[in-house]
Homo-oligomer: A and B are copies of this chain.
Amino acid sequence: MAMPEWRKDPVTGLWLIIAPERAQRPQGEQTIERCPFCAGHEVDTPPEVFSIRAVASSPNTPGWDVRVVPNQYPAVVNRAGAVPAPEPFYLSMPAQGAHEVVIESPDHLENIASLEQYQLLKILTAYRQRMRELSKDERWRYLLLFKNQGIGAGATLAHVHSQLMGLTIIPSEAEREIDGAQDYYNRTGSCVYCEMNALEVSAGKRIVDANQDFLTFCPYASRVAYESWIVPRHHESLFTTSDDASVHNLARPLSHLLRRLDRALGGLQCNYVIHSGPPHLGDNPFYHWHMEVLPRVVQQGGFEWGSGSYINVVRPEDAAALLRGVDPN
């Protein structure tokens, strides 16, 4: 298999991945009979690296609730690769990394909002476990856990799953966020997310849900309609250091938010991303991990490409009011 490569835009400095092998991924609708993520089809994926399964069952056989396997069509690969032939003026490097798939149900379910809280707890536990494992490898400077829910949100296989990548660089959006938080801390001595939590609680109008450990709100500068964040109420930089009680208390607001979005929007097409600090920075006073959920309601267009900005047609205050009114049970 050819090594995927990172290439750098000579004007903007943006690094992006060229990964031709991924073009061979199966596309479009799959029948259950051919779905590689269904229990009983374990042979159709690479061997598992982690699973939550019945004690009596063996790896790579049925009996699992959540299963993690290497991505068969990786955008980054876990081996040293040849550096692409240098071109004058242009920069490139091998796209080394980890790229795993978290298969989130043994049954052929296609909507993450249909899962029960106890299953979400297992899924979150699997995320934390694999992110903890990848954190031990110093080559990975950033861990990116994301879900594509629905074909319209970029999924190529419909069976519920998420992806976890270990990257050798901190990607630009993560860097912008981390630098922004660091800068805010340098100016004020406070964590910008802790400040935001306090302000959102006191304003109230953008809050969707709250429990003792987590706040769910539509952010003031929502990029897309019904964008919602789940933010820990206590300062913590890394998702990987969350204790069991905290992960348990995350399953409920995550389930509730996904169900609210599913019901309010008449079906769920969304992405979610766990924003966790770079492992090598460890716990620090400026960065605060959280989850961002981005529904796909409006197709983005030339404005977004040309400006790097967004036009959101739903005020986050209105989005939060609507979501609060939906029964999540």
Contacts and interface: CB of A to CB of B under 8 A. Distances in A.
Nearest to A272: B302
A309 B8 CA distance: 10
Nearest to A23: B313
Question: Taking chain A's interface residues, is the majority helix, strand, or loop, or is none over half, making it mixed?
Answer: mixed
Interface stretch (A112-120, A150-158, A254-262): A150-158
Interface of A: 7-23, 75, 87-90, 144-148, 151-155, 162-163, 165, 167, 171-174, 176-177, 180-181, 184, 192-193, 195-196, 199, 203, 219-223, 271-273, 275, 292, 294, 298-316, 318
Which of A19, A199, A305, A318 counts the most chain B CB atoms within 10 A?
A: A305
A17 to B, nearest CB: 5
Contacts of A312: 16-19
Contacts of A306: 144-146, 171, 173-174, 271, 273, 275, 292
Contacts of A155: 301
A93 to B, nearest CB: 12
Given A16-B223, A302-B147, A312-B18, A173 B307 contact: yes
A258 B22 CA distance: 25
Given A10-B221, A174-B306, 20 more contacts: A7-B221, A8-B221, A12-B173, A13-B176, A14-B221, A16-B223, A16-B312, A17-B312, A22-B313, A90-B220, A90-B221, A144-B306, A146-B302, A148-B302, A152-B299, A162-B302, A165-B303, A171-B306, A271-B301, A273-B306
Contacts of A220: 7, 9-10, 87, 90
A198 to B, nearest CB: 9
A11 B180 CA distance: 5
A323 to B, nearest CB: 16
B174 A307 contact: yes
Contact of A146 (B15, B21, B301): B301
B305 A271 contact: yes
Q: What's the number of copies of this chain in the assembled complex?
A: 2
Contacts of A19: 311-313
A11 B154 contact: no
B22 A196 contact: no
In the A-B complex, the 8 residue pairs with the smallest Cβ-Cβ separation, listed nearest first, are A154-B301, A173-B308, A146-B302, A171-B307, A273-B306, A271-B302, A148-B301, A9-B221
11 contacts: A7-B221, A10-B196, A14-B308, A16-B221, A19-B312, A90-B221, A146-B306, A171-B306, A174-B308, A271-B305, A273-B305
